Structure 1
Amino acid sequence: MNFGQAVSSVLNNYATFSGRAPRSEYWWWVLFSIVLNWITAFLDTALFGTFALVHFGDASYVGAVDVFTPISTIVGLLLILPSLAVGARRFHDMDRTGWWLLIGLTGIGALVIFFWFMIKGTPGTNHYGRDPLE
């Protein structure tokens, strides 16, 4: 599966949590998401500049957010559901339930998921459907 096919597949299965996703689909989607986030961050900076969202008197509050990012925020929100769906389908490819995504909420769990997603899926048919590489 190439870059265009992977992005198209994920967007066509926007909120589909059933079925299986091969490694290539998942990792091309990750690359697409990263590049899109860079582009939207650049657009936000070019269009809106940078400014502090929190002010305290004449000076910005310590720890204030220095960038206004409406485009990045909207795109990020739009990418959450397909990212979760392709992650669940990636787990299905390894014959695991998509609920394993919840371990990503822990620090070490995110590393475990990272390494699991590099492993080849179950060959042939499993509980979640036929092998997407067949």
Structure 2
Amino acid sequence: MAGSGLGGKYALIGMAESDVGIVPDKSPRELCVQVTLDAIRDAGLTLADVDGLITCNAFAEPIMYHAEAVAEYIGWQPRHCVTVNTGGGTTFMALNMAAAAIEAGMADTIVVAMADSLRSFMTRASDGGAIKLGTSSL
């Protein structure tokens, strides 16, 4: 049906890139905080202008309620806060969910953020076998 759907109705207005490479002094969550704040600044906005956050969970440090943890780290309480984890299509799903949330009136301006640090937090066992992920030891 012509004219239906979300295509062409919403725009990306800011973007950012986290530190890349081996970044052992920042967890994946801290990198996500970095890109969230930098994208807001790039858009010429402040936290007060943004009422939604959708994050893609990090592979190196997967946690439940990732978006809420990022918002809490910042000291921010967006009215719409969602963590997406749908495998290889996560970033596309997150963008679609942001547009749908705006369409439904759940938020007006949403940051979609994803950051990971596989090069910093993946280590191979001494026998060359298993790979250990994460920023904390078991």
* Higher helix proportion: 1
Q: Do they fold alike, i.e. is TM over 0.5?
A: no
TM-score by length of 2: 0.28
Choose 1 or 2 for highest CA Rg. Answer: 1
The structure with the greater share of residues assigned to strand is 2
